[in-house]
Amino acid sequence: MDEPQAGVSATHRLEVTYKPLGKLTPDPRNARTHSKKQVEQIAASIRAFGFTNPILADLEGNIIAGHGRLRAAKELGLAEVPVIELGDLTEPQKRALRLADNKIALNAGWDVEVLKLELADLSLPDMDIDLGLTGFSPGEIDVVLSDSDDPDD
């Protein structure tokens, strides 16, 4: 088993606190962009499910991950947001985590059969859920639910 890097503990307990939006500072070197449409999707998710994914920040309030969530919170007019403070990371670790937080999620794939089952079930009238909250567009949902084997789909 690999040893954790210096300064990083696998057993460090995380605590969620609530911080006023004005106490958080976006990082000007955040390489991830957030379109207006995506920020609207994040805001819709927060409205529907609550703020389920805290912002990661250092002890000074500099955002490590969660820039899009902060923008969505501002759009919603929230006064404060849940934050996990990461005080034991070096500057290079913060910068690497900022990239990893976004990129590693993009490296995942989909089990298309399971995705099809989930979307089909959620689309039933008695489910009473807006499928747009999944982040999939209506066109993407149609393609997943179709039986087409056309690779252009």
Express each pLDDT in 3-16 by its tens digit.
555 555 566 789 99
**Tokens coding 48:** 């529907």
Higher pLDDT, 109 or 148: 109
Domain spans, the chain: 16-106, 112-145
- Predicted confidence at residue 11, as pLDDT, reads 66
46 near 73, Cβ under 8 Å?
yes
**Does residue 94 carry a pLDDT above 90?**
yes
State the CATH architecture for 16-106. Answer: Alpha-Beta Complex (3.90)
Beta strands in the chain (DSSP E): 16-20, 55-57, 63-65, 80-85
Strand pairing report for 63-65 and 55-57? antiparallel
pLDDT value of residue 12: 75
What is the model's pTM?
Answer: 0.83
DSSP string, 110-139: --HHHHHHHHHHHTSGGG---GGGGT--HH
Tell me what pLDDT residue 1 has.
47
pLDDT the model gives residue 72: 98
pLDDT computed for residue 148 by the predictor: 64
Q: What are the tokens at 103? A: 């990129």
Residues 36-79: tens digit of each pLDDT: 999 999 999 999 999 999 999 999 999 999 999 999 999 999 99
Q: So what's the pLDDT on residue 105?
A: 85
pLDDT tens string 116-143:
999 999 999 999 999 999 999 999 999 9
